[in-house]
Structures are given as C-alpha cells and as structure tokens.
Structure 1
C-alpha cells in the first residue's frame, strides 16, 4: 500500500522515532511479537508500539529465507522434530528474533496439517467415536507417529528438559513445548505427558481417574511456579486438545495471557477444570467418562478425519478406514 502522507509530514514524523527515550516496558503480547513502550520525545510522554512485520511471501524472498538466517542455535531434537532460535539479520551479534521448528523428513500428513485449509464444525457422538474415531486413533498409533513421545517417556531424549516427573502407572512428566522459545514468560508453553499408554485422549478419562487428574493438575502448577517464581498459579491455564495432534494424552500449560489463535479456541481446546467438573457430574459408575458424551470441534477440510469419516457421513456414504 502506498503512503498518502505528504513527504514533508512523513519526514517530520520519521525523525521522531530516533528521539524516543525509553522509560519502561508497558506490555509484551502476541507471544512476544509485540511490545508497548512508554517513553519521552523532547521531554513529552510518548508510547511506542513495536510489532514484527509479516513475512514477505514472494518467491524471491522465500527462496533465500533459510540462507539469510544467522546465529542458528539448536534448542533440541527428537525423532523427526528439531527446534531452533535464529536471527533474521545478517549480523551474528543481533539477538535471535525467530523461533524455528523443523520436521525432517516430513510426511504428506504434516503437509496437510500446516497448509491453509477451510474448517468444518463436527459433532462426535459416543457412537461415532466408538465405531469410527477410536479405530482411526488405533491406526495412527500403530504407524509409529508416537516414537518421539516414547523417546521422552523412556528416557532416550530431552531428559535434560524434564522439569518434574513421577514414575509408575499413574506417572507423568513436565517439559517445555517445542513451540516455546524457553525465555519469554508471557508466552510460556509447557506440556504434561502421561507415562501410561492406555489413555490416548480426553475420551479415555473416566470418573475413576478424577483424583489422579487433580493430582496431575496440582503438581504441574506447583512445578511450574517453583521453576518460574515470577509466576503465580492463577497466571497459568491448563487445557487439552480434541482432536489432539497425536494420540497420547497430554496437557498444555500456558501463561494465561498467551494469544495462540485457533489452538486455544472453542472447537479445539478443552479447559482441564471443565473436564474435571464434567467427569464429576457424569451419571454412572467409575467406568463412566468422556467417551459417553458428545464433543463438538472443528476439523480442517484436508484432515484425514474429515476426509475419511465426517465427509462420508455427511454425504450418506460408507466410511472406509
């Protein structure tokens, strides 16, 4: 977009930025991508909001993107996943301003997950879950897609990152999510991963597990604020995804102010407190649970669940897994 500001006015206002003298940071938001600064210009109060510009998406810029990075520092690697910090500038002295995740080698399903696609809202009844979705989950678990999770649980990778751990059938561990830069507390993102392998998703939680889930919640919160004393328990929120990205039960622990778009939106995230409350009020014995209720969520039109299950059901066609 071409500026309509007269040249003499543009030159004047552009000269103001170098005159800005910082008083203090007011706020950091959008997962650390925007800062609001209080300061002065010529002894008059001023606020400067700085936000990282959108990535250039033309072919010439994208072709040279990976080779233009400097100060690339690996944060960790597990199976086909690696994550890094890097600087977008050419000088090694520039602080890292990019968080990179690398999936190599990736699959067609990874490509579909990360591509732009339309969304659909679906309602998964207990019957649809039992007849179609549960067998679908079983297929995915048998394809080796959980190797990176098992590497962590079995102590082969990322052990230096484990913040808290309890062993046993009701064991679990806490460690940073690969999407967090591990330094910006306002965008803190940790994962609580259970050790047991019979709980694939929220659907496997039953009334008999209520005290265990509460115990996990308390330990995850306590361990987080112990490691990061700048935080208090009520500055954290815990949720699970349904559908999750992978079928091994895990809990997301994030800063309450983290803005993470669709990953925390209705149709994707279920608050852990709400799950506990629902388990407590579900009618039935100890075996009653989240498999007995309908769940509504959104799916990408390129996702296998949509293509293989919900689209055929919508069109009255047979489902073939």
Structure 2
C-alpha cells in the first residue's frame, strides 16, 4: 500500500502534533528513558524469523543491587518508500555472500539512521509478563455458551486483571496526545488511538485500536443488540477518522474483535488489509461487520453460539477447561 503525498503530509502532521511513543509510553522523553545499556539478558523468551522479532527476558539492577525484571522486544522496522534511495546509495556497504549465474546474494549494511530497530519495553515486568511472551504450545478450545457461563466467566471474575491503563487513556490521564479521534458519548462513544505495534511511519502495517467508553462490556460474549449503536459508531466513525488522517479507505481495512481478548474491556482492531497482523487469524478474529449482522439477526447471538479460540499451554484458563473435560 503506497503512501500518497497527501497521506504522507497528513501523517507527518500527526507526528509533529502527537510524537512517537517511547519505550515506556512517555512520549520518547530522554529524561526518563529505559536504561537499555544496563540490561542483563537472562533468556530469549521467543523469536520469530518470519516477523524479524525477538523477545528477551532481562534484568536491571536497582539501587539495592537486586535485579528488576524487564521484557524487551526487538523488531526490525518495515521499509519506508521515501528512504529507499538513501538506503541504496548513502554510505551503504554491500558484501557478496554467493553468486551463481545471474543470481547473487549480498548482505547490505545501511547507515545507522536507516537501520532502526523498534524496541518495546515492559518494565518492571511480572511473572505473568514473562509467561505471556514465552514460547508455548497452543491448543484450540471450542467454548459453548454454557462453557462460558460455567468455566470462562467464573475464571475471569476470579482474576485480578488490571486495566487501569485503559481507564487512563479514556480519562486522558495518559496518551491523550496520541488519540486521533473521539466520540465522547459514555455509552456509544469510543477513542481511536494508534496501537504500539505501529510506529506510524508507513501505512503498510497501519494498526489502530478503538476503545469503548462503555465500561461494562468485557468481551464479545457480553454484546447484545443494545450495543449496536456503539458498534456502528466504531465501524463508521473509525473508518471516517482513518480516511481523514491517513487517507486509507475503509475497504482497505480489516476491522475486528478478538475472542478471547487480551484484556477484558471492549476494543476493536483496525489494521491495514495487506498487513498480516498478530491475532488476525480465523480462530481468534471476528469481523466487526459480521458481529453487527449477527446481533441484528439475534440479540443473544453471542450468548448462544460456540466460539473457538486458542490458549497457550501455560494459561490458567486452559487448565480449567482440561479439569472440566473440555480440552
């Protein structure tokens, strides 16, 4: 998806206004940045050659000398069309690896300013964070409406999942400068904000999140026809805001909800259709337009139907399904 001149101008305007988030979501301020040079790598949690990403467990020594855990995610950034000329010509070293007839392979060493690595930091990190990023076997669960009531919902209610960071965004206590659109209605409104997976420098991996102002909807399972005005607002106003700010049409977007979600507050994902975003696979993603259609047909659709989703081997919810003989 090439970035048009008008989209580039709009995108640069957004960056001048909002900035690019730092590793700790503080706007990139050098004054309180993460002490990366002091990180002691303890373990590689996971790596993906396909996604050019590595997940590290490290520790940083505190004042008392004890190590504080951190998760550091290193990810090669996508190519930017406007930098290709510099990438090929400007102080770039080319090292031959192999040649055979008309085919040859090289290692290209670009100048530092064109060799960015996106770095995401979770610090201090808890054991739950370490387990979240650790490579695990994955199992597919088929959850009926009764399974949700008897297994999943009691489990969710028993856990202390903190979503204060979500409320901080909704209340403008954090990341207010990153919000690109808001419908302030407390029942049918939402905020639209770039996901941290997207650096906002190119449109190929565009990724935004719509977070509902309604605080009583945990997931897809809670949705009824009562929530159709909210869902329609997110769909139509979200597409309109993305078209205005990034010149990307709704027909070029994948708009969906996760089940199970990564946190239990209603939110909707907006990604570039050409981008194979994490979690967009059929066993987890539900297109928002389909959700709206289903609720128009039956208000209790998501209370009745069976839903399929993946669970990692270390997840406590999987153990609950196994104990019930459902996995």
| 1:210 corresponds to | 228
Confirm whether residue 295 of structure 1 aligns to residue 304 of structure 2: no
Distance (whole Å) between structure 2 residues aligned to residue 256 and residue 111 of structure 1:
30
Q: Deviations over 1:206-265 (max 9, x none)?
A: 022223311220000000110012x2121111011111110001000000000125x111
Q: Report 1:28-177 matches (<5 A).
A: 93-140=112-159, 143=160, 145-167=162-184, 168-177=186-195
Give the conservation status (yes or no) of the 8 Å contact 2:53–2:75.
Answer: no
Partner of 1:313: 324
Deviations 1:270-317 (A, max 9, x none): 1111111221222xxx5x24122211111111112112x11212279x
Q: For 1:131-280, list aligned pairs within 5 A.
A: 131-140=150-159, 143=160, 145-167=162-184, 168-229=186-247, 231-261=248-278, 263-280=279-296
Show structure 2 runs of 5+ residues with no match.
4-48, 61-69, 78-108
The answer (yes or no) to whether the contact 1:203–1:291 under 8 Å persists in 2 is yes
Paired residues of 1:207 and 1:289 also in contact (CA < 8 A): no
Shift of 1:149: 0.6
1:44-92 CA-to-partner distances (Å, cap 9, x unmatched) read: xxxxxxx9995799xxxx899x9xxxxxxxxxxxxx99999999xx999
Structure 1 pair 197–63 and aligned structure 2 pair: CA distance change class (3 A): closer
> TM-score with structure 2 length normalisation?
0.65
RMSD: 3.5
8 Å contact kept, 1:169–1:195 = yes
**Change in 2 beyond 3 A, CA 1:83/1:227:** farther
Larger Rg: 1
Residues 57 and 130 of structure 2 are in contact (CA less than 8 Å); yes or no, is this contact kept in structure 1? no
Q: Structure 1 regions of 5+ residues with no counterpart? A: 1-24, 28-50, 67-79, 317-321
Q: Contact 2:2–2:204 (CA<8 Å) still a contact in 1?
A: no
Distance 2:325 2:144 in 1: 14
Q: Aligned partners of 1:53, 1:132: CA distance in 2, in Å?
A: 34
Distance 1:191 1:135 in 2: 27
Partner SS, residue 302 of structure 1: coil
Kindly indicate whether the alpha-carbon contact (under 8 Å) linking 1:194 and 1:249 is maintained by their aligned counterparts in 2. yes
Q: Contact conserved, 1:237 with 1:254, CA < 8 A, in 2?
A: yes
Offset, 1:176: 0.3
Is 1:304 the counterpart of 2:316? The answer is: yes
Residue 100 of structure 2 is matched in structure 1 by none
Q: 1:113 to 1:238 in 2, by over 3 A?
A: same
Instruction: Give the aligned length.
Output: 241
